[in-house]
Amino acid sequence: MTDSFHFNVIGTVESPYKEKFAIPRQPGIVTAAQGQIRLTGSANNADLVRGLSQFSHIWLIFVFHGTQAQGWKPLVRPPRLGGNKKLGVLATRSTFRPNPIGMSVVKLDRIELQKTEHQGSQVILHISEFDLLNGTPIVDIKPYVPYADIIADAQGGYAHQQPTSNIQIIFTALALTVIEKHSASTPKLRQLIKQVLSQDPRPAYKQKQTDNKVYGMSLYEFNIQWQFDDSDTIKVISVEASNS
């Protein structure tokens, strides 16, 4: 027996979420996010994904590389409980774990074998409905098998049901103009912004509070500024393309 193991990265995620802030707290909540997994090294081999396209969803085992350097804590404050109550880290999905490993079920849209000049084919898994930071290292991929993975009478403790939101999202004319300008290259940008903001990405202790602070977030190559217009309405003030 050994008390440690070494794993190789088999792929890397390309995601619209460029920073930890505004990433959905669970997969499946924001459906408009579209991304890719590029297999790397010896795992970049079409044989590894033969038959995988039969499945609509896949399990991803990955590394929380964005928070890994901060270490872990035995007690954490789950956002679902308003950030006011501490629970054991193993009773949560916190990123601050003894081993910085995460798992998510994501939608597998298609598998692409992209021809490249120097390394033959690049295997690309096109995914959606995910909660992954750009650059996330993937260490394993498994098919989601409904008869085995769905447990109808499972109990979800303090997170048994998906939280509901009554937040309305409105856009300034300026923001809509930029979104329309980039509609060909990023057709679901407006929908993505609305879905992300409807979850109220602020720290848990600020939720349900009056707050007129202007916040910023990055999605794809866009920098987005927004603020609460009132207690249940978020106004998207501006959308700027960082490469323009």
What are 192-212's pLDDT values in tens digits?
A: 999 999 988 888 777 767 788
CATH code of the domain in which 172 resides: 3.30.2310.10
Amino acid sitting at position 69: A
Mean pLDDT of the chain: 91
Q: What is the mean pLDDT of residues 130-153?
A: 95
Of 46-50, 73-77, 99-103, 205-209, the one with minimum mean pLDDT is 205-209
Please tell me the predicted confidence (pLDDT) of residue 232.
87
Is 139 in the same domain as 42?
Answer: yes
Is 109 in the same domain as 31?
Answer: yes
Identify the domain boundary among 95, 123, 149: 149
Please tell me the predicted confidence (pLDDT) of residue 2.
81
Q: Comparing C-alpha atoms, which of 177, 173, 171 is closest to residue 241? A: 177
Could you tell me which residues come within 8 angstroms of residue 88 by beta carbon, excluding any fewer than 6 positions away? 74, 75
What are 90-121's pLDDT values in tens digits?
A: 999 888 899 999 999 999 999 999 988 776 89
What are 162-192's pLDDT values in tens digits?
A: 767 789 999 999 999 999 999 999 999 999 9
Domain that holds residue 206: 165-241
Q: Which residue has the higher pLDDT, 120 or 241?
A: 241
| DSSP annotation of 20 | S
233-241 and 168-171 as β-strands: parallel, antiparallel, unpaired?
parallel
CATH code of the domain in which 41 resides: 2.40.30.70
Q: What is the mean pLDDT of residues 153-168?
A: 81
Model confidence, pTM:
0.89
Q: What is the mean pLDDT of residues 75-86?
A: 83
Please tell me the predicted confidence (pLDDT) of residue 55.
98
Q: Is 117 left (phi over 0), alpha (psi -120 to 50) or beta?
A: alpha
